[in-house]
Structure 1
């Protein structure tokens, strides 16, 4: 059983939950940017949470099922058609053999996730089927004409009567934990980060979300030796504009990290288009400790 890609769209990659635990070897975690959306799609399709699916940026995918299959589409809501009939996101969809699946352009947000019962069964690399756009590990980005193998069904899809897809927020409020290098910045820089508004820059990809807004001023000159980076780290290059690292981030970097976005808030950045307003706030636990 396979999925024949007629049109891959703007940017489609195979993603699962990534390669955790290998940063000490220089291997990024990678995986779905909106991990919650992929987990939901897998649950709806009858897969384990970590099965590989498709991450489709700005829609535009057209694919053909070589045999009857069940699939699910989550992430930002987008128009869906199965065999030219409209279909709903956030529900298990029965697809007859030979039917064509179309996923249109979402009105808001960036990424749509497609899971098929059995998972996309490309060969794993270091325990994951994720495409890592920084290191080049995993399968190549999906292209027109690709034929993606589908694994054997793990379980029947669940009974569901409530769609899970919600439109992405027009503006984001992200909780940020201070450090590890907040002491490299002035007190005004931390107040600016928390008090001023930022916007997502067009220079945003799977590696990181660059922001535009007031520059964050340093209290120290010079540069750090390269040190470890984590998902959600807010690195500040020499121009003072913050950069939030996402799933394909490098494992080390030399610019100081003023804070780290709370892990539960990182998924929302996967759906933040350029121009999306961003505000930062401290978690209650962090505010109480300072």
Structure 2
């Protein structure tokens, strides 16, 4: 079997597609790429269907050896990309020959980089998806040195661009749109979420981005009791007793008992997934 062999892994690298919807009634979440737009773009660049499985890389540090000719694209957090130590452009189509090495350095901004290969990573699907769910442990294991990643049959469509123009990710203040949540009335003043600024906590992963208050009033509960368990959606802003909101990301639990004060607009969830610890964030209320 030939494909891509894992030589080195940084903090974390997992196989992800667009997830496994439709299993909530069995207690299984959707999972999938934390930054869906970046995975979709990488797949479009190499001519794959948008939902083909690729590699999600936390911060960078991945090295792959090609056991065959492959066409790849790297998107998301701008980790420096080299092929056999030759610098390559971000969000560009790369032709890698057998025996060559693709290396990702450490990204200066953003959190997650995506590697798509023409034909997709063809590991065995679980419940219809090749995604790793880090909360439940469902799906292929995180990558380790020595792993061989099989590449699927190339699609008939061909890449039509060499480079995609994408806006640069920065470390400046991130403005996130959100609508009031179903339990906003559990707080003395739910508008406090939208006042002042928050920062991304180091206690952040694929399950959720925990926030620390940077400026502005604290969130205070008006209802002292806890909720019965209820459903949780992607982008839900849940507030535990500590008062530190958590924005639920790709591997979020499907139920929870803490009140949801707001829900992040779907288009902005990908931005939260790319925010790294210490970055400032502000919520903007929308209808």
TM range (shorter): over 0.9
Q: Which among 168, 173, 176 is matched to residue 175 of structure 2?
A: 173
| Structure 2 unaligned regions, length at least 5 | none
* 1:161-240 equivalence runs, <5 A: 161-169=162-170, 170-187=172-189, 190-213=190-213, 214-240=217-243
Q: Which residue of 2 aligns with 1:268?
A: 271
Tell me the distance in 2 between the aligned counterparts of 1:82 and 1:266.
31
Aligned pairs for 1:32-181 within 5 A: 32-169=33-170, 170-181=172-183
Distance 1:132 1:191 in 2: 33
Residues 76 and 165 in structure 1, CA contact (< 8 A), matched pair in contact too: no
CA RMSD, aligned part only?
1.1
Post-superposition CA distance 1:160-198 (Å, at most 9, x none)? 1443343223221111111211111112xx221111210
Cα shift at 1:62: 0.6
1:57, 1:161 → 2: CA distance? 25
Cα deviations by residue, 1:4-28 (Å, 9 ceiling, x for unpaired): 0000111000000001121122111
SS of structure 2 residue aligned to 1:270 = helix
CA distance in 2, matches of 1:256, 1:215: 15
Are the equivalent residues in 2 in contact too, given 1:132–1:138 (CA < 8 A)?
A: yes
Out of 151-160 and 209-218, give the one that drifted further.
151-160
**Structure 2 partner of 1:254:** 257
Given that 2:93 and 2:162 are in contact with CA atoms closer than 8 Å, whether structure 1 keeps it comes out as: no
Task: Give, in whole Å, the separation in 2 of the partners of 1:198 and 1:99.
Answer: 43
* 1:25 to 2:26 alignment: yes
Query: What do residues 221-259 of structure 1 show as CA deviations (whole Å, max 9, x unaligned)?
Result: 110010000000000000111110000000000001011
Tell me whether 80-89 or 9-18 shows the greater mean CA deviation. Answer: 80-89
- The answer to whether the 8 A contact 2:239-2:260 is kept is yes
Instruction: Name the SS of the counterpart of 2:274 in structure 1.
Output: coil
TM-score by length of 2: 0.96
Contact 1:43-1:157 within 8 A present in 2 as well: no
CA distance in 2, matches of 1:232, 1:281: 14
Instruction: Report if aligned partners of 1:68, 1:96 keep a CA contact under 8 Å in 2.
Output: yes
Q: 3-state DSSP class of the match of 2:20?
A: coil
Deviations 1:120-176 (A, max 9, x none): 000000000000000000001001111111111013542214433432232211111
1:115 Cα offset (Å): 0.3
Q: Distance in 1 between matches of 2:154 and 2:283?
A: 42
CA contact (8 A) 1:109 1:273 kept: yes
CA distance in structure 2 between the aligned counterparts of 1:88 and 1:223, rounded to whole angstroms: 50
C-alpha separation in 2, matches of 1:183 and 1:147: 51
Report if the CA contact (8 A) 1:71-1:92 is conserved: yes
